[in-house]
Amino acid sequence: MKSHLLWTATAILLIFTVGACASKRQFQEPTPEMREKMRAEMQKTINARDTNQDGLLTCEDIALNREILFKTVDENETLTLDIEEYYNLHWHDKLYIFLQLKDDDLNRDGVVTLEEFQERPDPFFFSADKDQDCILSPQELKAGMRSMMAEERSRPRGGQRPGGGNRRRADTE
């Protein structure tokens, strides 16, 4: 089963995070080797999800990949996902670690149909598609990944609060 765009973007983000953590210095520009590795990963991401092989990711490509994901976890082939099947989504797409069945169960009947599942837009795809033309070009994918990495670098690390410093608990003073 092909993993989703978000999974690959997360893997690339992890590569940068590990590299930045391995160094005591602030984030450094990627080496030419790292840039080539990123370019190859982006192309691999596009190729894996580009159902019509036109070199671009489109809304249609994303919809087809989501349908394949849905049918992969629909073990009883009822075209609905119960709570157990829905839980298994996160093994195929890490986005679903943060979502619950109720997030996709639009009519609140306790199961998610394929139609309900298709209603949720892919957050990475639609945030990266800056011109909103339903086509994610390699340039938009690259910019989207950079944006994700910049957002990740700006988050507080090591238990620090956004205002700085570590907060001490009152019962330890």
Please report which confidence band the pLDDT of residue 16 belongs to, taking 50, 70 and 90 as the band edges: low
pLDDT of residue 158: 58
Enter the tokens of residue 84: 């157990």
pLDDT of residue 166: 46
pLDDT of residue 67: 93
Q: Looking at the predicted structure, is the pLDDT value of residue 55 above 60?
A: yes
Q: Looking at the predicted structure, is the pLDDT value of residue 3 above 50?
A: no
Q: Looking at the predicted structure, is the pLDDT value of residue 58 above 80?
A: yes
Q: Which are the contacts of 67, defined by CB distance < 8 A and separation ≥ 6?
A: 114, 118
pLDDT in tens, 143-173: 887 777 777 667 665 555 455 444 444 444 4
pLDDT of residue 47: 81
Q: Which amino acid is at 113?
A: T
Q: Looking at the predicted structure, is the pLDDT value of residue 33 above 60?
A: yes
Best CA proximity match to 8, nearest among 145, 138, 122: 145
Q: Which amino acid is at 106?
A: L
Burial class (CB in 10 A: 0-12, 13-18, 19+), 96: buried
pTM exceeding 0.75: no
Best CA proximity match to 49, nearest among 38, 64, 36: 64
What is the arithmetic mean of pLDDT over 97-122? 89
pLDDT of residue 2: 44
